[in-house]
Structure 1
Amino acid sequence: MSPRTSLSILIKKHRALLLSTLFVAAMLNPGETLGFQQDNAAVDFNQYSGEVREESSNKPLVFATLTVEGTNISTITNTEGNFLLKVPKEYTDKNVVISFLGYKTKKVPIANLKPEKNEISLEVSVTQLSEININAPKDALALVKETLRNRVDNYFDDSTLMTAFYRETIKRRRRNVSLAEAVVNVYKTPYSSARDDVVELYKARKSTDYSKLDTVALKLQGGPYNTLYVDMMKYPEYIFSEEDLSNYKFTFDRSTRTNDRLIYVIKFDQYEGIIEPLYHGELFIDVGNKILTSATFSLNITDRKKAAQLFVRRKPAKVDVWPTEVSYRVDYREKDGKWFYGYSSVFMEFKVDWEDKWFNSMYSMTAEMAITDWDKNLTGEIPRYRERIKKSIILSDEASGFSDPNFWGEYNIIEPEKSIESAIKKIQRQLRREDRNSE
């Protein structure tokens, strides 16, 4: 199962959607427990929120990493540069380390943070031209191959139990119409192992404004596995198998810095004449240690019919659906000289064209997962099959609804975008009105 074939879209007619609407409305009655037990224990963590921006331009830094120094607790900023970080009280004497590719890493004492409206700025890290030429590799493909070969030495060699936050959003044009979120346990196998990672669902919730979905309902099949398989150092066969490497042209583009490491940016694209839709993008490689620290890439959509066959699992006969963009991102983090998967995202944009309508609709779907804590899985135990999330899961069908603000407890999440927050509040108001009218 590759990242592109594991991402499936289910498109249903409006009649089936109406039943789902009634089901969700019933599950979201105010005061309902939603099937989850709330933690009534005393709060033993502090919560901090704010934004990370570039010092000179004041622009928000998207997907900047915040880590509690000396621990495995972390989070990232959202697409507006905002963050939400929950820190156990036992660690409030430590620093928060803020890092972002191309910027100088900054440490801020947690004691100096306010509960809200913290403003953190990062300074651009300037790479001297003289540095670029020192021991510079001459062959981009050779550097990529060496980086892939070194993954056993450079990445986690222990079984690891990770806590992760996962989010799926669906937009119709620019409007948020559906949101599903989950806290999951990821049983990560060593990077030297051929065994797949296993995911276990801990908590989940959703919110959907079905009135904005027009006459179709898009559902993302695969859930957290969609983002997990973007970890190309764990699953290189899905992107850069031995056979596929020869189908790509690799070229040096530029250099940058992160955490005082010199990073080479390598561009790649499939050669002309390759018929199968492959990828194009950028690899960010620590040239001194041959380590992939980040990657961004997109599917080459030249044949929309072939591209549609990769993603669309089911649709009405009179509907034509095809992707207009499919993009991926993966970021890695370092601890004690070893690197591990830290964050990934998948963005897909689809055009939905009804045979008997004048206008078509544009939908976009985003799935992202961030590792917020981890520890070595010393026993190597993994959940039984019935306790695991299936790779065919549709998270929005498994989740119940949105509950009170303490739903996540001490677990770190990615701060919601303002548009998502407002959409959730609007849906909740509508459901409360419907509930009052039905009394």
Structure 2
Amino acid sequence: MKTTYIQPIRQMSLYIILSILCVSASWAHELKNASFSEFLISEFIEFNGRVVDSQTGNGIASAHISIYGSNISTVTNSDGYFSLKVPDDMLKANVTISFLGYKSKTISLSSFSTENNRIELEESVEELSEVNIFKGGNARGLVKTMLDNRDSNYLNEPTHMKAFYRETIRRGRRNVSLSEAVVDIYKQAYSTKKKDDIALFKARKSTDYKRLDTLALKLRGGPFNTLYVDVMKYTEFVFQPNELDRYKFSFDQPTKINNRYIYVIDFSEINHDDPWYYGKLYIDAENSTLVRATYKLNVQNRLAASEMFVKSKPKRAKVYPVDVSYQVDYRESNGKWYYSYGNALLEFVVNWKHKLFNSHFTINSEMVITDWAPISSTVKPSGDFIKPSVIMVDDVSGFRDTDFWGDTNIIEPEKSIQNAIEKIQRQLKRNE
């Protein structure tokens, strides 16, 4: 039994319960004592556009867009579209667009139009020289150095972050639920074992419960699911420095980002008796800093995987995950790296007794840091912290408020999501 890993995994477990989800009405109201008042901006300009591959014209998902000289940033959606809100006193600043495997580009905001900006990134085909490849030594040794350098490479003081969180649920190919929130993250120094805190600033949700087939979904953790993928803060959730012999490590094809060489390390747990982790680590060749990690949990052992993720379920249903995937990105500012983007994806199947067809659900959660500033350890947040067991609740009015998000940088909505939510809105309106 993996006593080291089972408990952390359960902190991102799925509760399956038969009955419509009931939640406290208090969550339908915005928190009055918003704890991010120092970040709010009275005047801003919004720029929209798309980041694409210069050769194929295809959109680049999760490309980072940041204002040079500030902590303001966002990421593109799955089709490469972005929305960037900038204070009106920073309109002469430069914007940096970057993505692994592509040459970064820096553009002056003065050359942007407010709509339909098209930014082309060229693929980086330059490879690490043989000397640079072996500079990192053996792959396991490089990973150990990466973990040993955590305290010096990452933020070593409490940090107040502003983030945008999104959680979508699909049944088959149909979108049935969308939750979004602006949250305050009180991130602890990477050198401490203190866990991060999250306070809700604004939230909204719309769900078509009829399409959930009376099976209500309670994803434990909400925004915490995407925060816990920060493997440099919560290393024990995947592996620990003194237990690296549990894994097999090997070098993959290197790449570049922001003109920096990046080692790519493939890793996989050796013991396959229980669900096991495997994936890729992207490590800066100069200072052995993790800049990205993509990893999965192998869930071919359905019984063991179901025991990990399913807390309770109807007796006549079999529930098991078929895909569990995670991604975390880090950004650098003034020589220190910090968590900037997290994504957690869970696909699972529900087999009902005496039913010919099963139900397939996909839950995708993502969070992007849009601004941050260091804070004193003595500062007491004015907002209310949420618990890892929190559920995003229905707040239909939020979707009808065109000024709901104000100057907050969010991930550009996907057309399919928007169309689905509009249909949900109409349905809910008819039922009012």
TM-score of the superposed pair, with normalisation by structure 1 = 0.90
Using the TM superposition, give the Cα deviation of residue 236 of structure 1 relative to its aligned residue in structure 2, in angstroms.
Answer: 0.9
- Equivalent position of 1:429 in the other structure: 426
Q: Which residue in 1 is equivalent to 2:281?
A: 283
Contact 1:50 1:83 in 2 (8 A): yes
Aligned CA distance change for structure 1 residues 344 and 43 (closer, same or farther; 3 Å): same
**Equivalent in the alignment of 1:12:** 17
Superposed counterparts of 1:25-424, under 5 Å: 35-36=29-30, 44-128=43-127, 130=129, 133=132, 135-242=134-241, 244-271=243-270, 273-383=271-381, 387-396=384-393, 402-424=399-421
Equivalent pair of 1:3/1:226 in contact (CA under 8 Å): no
Task: Tell me the amino acid that sits aligned with residue 424 of structure 1.
Answer: I
The change in CA–CA distance for 1:232 and 1:2 in structure 2 (over 3 A counts) is: farther
- Contact 2:206/2:394 (<8 A) preserved: no
1:277 positional shift: 1.9
- Distance in 2 (CA, whole Å) between partners of 1:68 and 1:296 is 25
Give 1:73 shift. 0.4
1:218 aligned counterpart, secondary structure: strand
* CA–CA separation in structure 1 for the residues paired with 2:82 and 2:50: 6
Deviation for aligned residue 1:400: 7.3
SS in 1 for 2:393: helix
Deviation of the 1:54 alpha carbon: 0.8
- 1:140 and 1:252 in contact (8 A); partners too: yes
Instruction: Kindly provide the amino acid, as one letter, of the partner of residue 423 in structure 1.
Output: A
CA separation of 1:281/1:135 partners in 2, compared to 1, >3 Å: closer, same or farther? closer
1:267-313 Cα deviation digits (max 9, x unpaired): 01111x44232200000001221110000000011311111111112
CA contact (8 A) 1:3 1:229 kept: no
Residues 300 and 289 of structure 1: CA distance in aligned 2, closer, same or farther (over 3 Å) = same
Give deviations 1:113-164, integer Å, cap 9, x for gaps: 1222111111111224536646533310000000000011111111100001
Superposition deviation, residue 379 in structure 1: 4.7
* 8 A contact 2:300–2:322 mirrored in 1: no
Alpha carbons 2:31, 2:202 under 8 Å: kept: no
- Cα distance in 2 for partners of 1:225, 1:101 equals 25
**1:401 CA displacement:** 5.2
Instruction: For structure 2, list consecutive stretches of 5 or more residues without a partner in the other structure.
Output: 1-5, 35-39
Is the CA contact 2:48–2:117 (under 8 Å) kept in the aligned structure 1?
yes
> Which residue identity lines up with residue 178 of structure 2 in the other structure?
L
Deviation at 1:82, TM superposition (A): 0.7
**d(CA) in 1 for partners of 2:31, 2:145:** 49
| Alpha-carbon shift at residue 81 of structure 1 (Å) | 0.6
SS at match of 1:387: coil
Change (3 A) 1:309 1:332: same
Distance 1:407 1:2, change over 3 A: farther
The residue type equivalent to 2:71 in the other structure is: N
Q: Is the 8 A contact 1:187 1:198 kept in 2?
A: yes
**1:364/1:181 CA distance change after superposition, 3 Å:** same
TM-score of the aligned structures, taking structure 2 as reference length: 0.91
Say what the alpha-carbon RMSD is for the aligned residues: 2.5
Q: Distance in 1 between matches of 2:386 and 2:345?
A: 22
Letter aligned with residue 49 of structure 1: N
CA contact (8 A) 2:128 2:261 kept: no
Question: What displacement does 1:169 show?
Answer: 0.6
CA distance in 1, matches of 2:236, 2:403: 41
Residue 323 of structure 1 aligns with an amino acid whose one-letter code is P
Distance verdict in 2 for CA 1:2–1:421, change over 3 Å: farther
CA-to-aligned-CA distance 1:49-69 (integer Å, 9 cap, x gap): 111001111111110000011
SS of the equivalent of 2:57 reads coil
Give the match for residue 3 of structure 2.
none
Distance 1:316 1:398 in 2: 28
3-state SS of 2:106 partner: strand
Q: Secondary structure at the match of 1:378?
A: coil
> Is contact 2:188–2:195 with CA below 8 Å preserved after alignment?
yes
Q: Distance in 1 between matches of 2:369 and 2:223?
A: 12
User: Where in structure 1 are there 5+ consecutive unaligned residues?
Assistant: 28-33
Which sits farther off after the overlay, 280-289 or 212-221?
212-221
Distance 2:375 2:395 in 1: 27
Identity %: 47
The answer to whether the Cα contact below 8 Å between 1:279 and 1:299 also exists between their aligned partners in 2 is yes
Paired residue type of 1:264? Y
> Offset of 1:396 from its aligned partner?
3.2
Distance 1:123 1:131, change over 3 A: farther
Once residues 426 and 116 of structure 1 are traced to their aligned partners in structure 2, the CA distance between those partners, rounded to angstroms, is 26
Q: How far apart are residue 2 of structure 1 and its match?
A: 5.4
The superposition leaves residues 21-64 of structure 1 with CA deviations (integer Å, 9 ceiling, x where unpaired) of: xx99xx9xxxxxx634999x995000111110011111111100
| Cα deviation digits, residues 388-417 of structure 1 (max 9, x gap) | 111111123699753312111111111111
Residue 222 of structure 1 aligns to which amino acid in structure 2? G
Q: Deviations over 1:329-383 (max 9, x none)?
A: 0000000111000001000000000012111010000111110000011354244
Count of residue correspondences = 420
Q: Is the 8 A contact 1:3 1:230 kept in 2?
A: no
Report the residue type matching 1:152 in the other structure: D
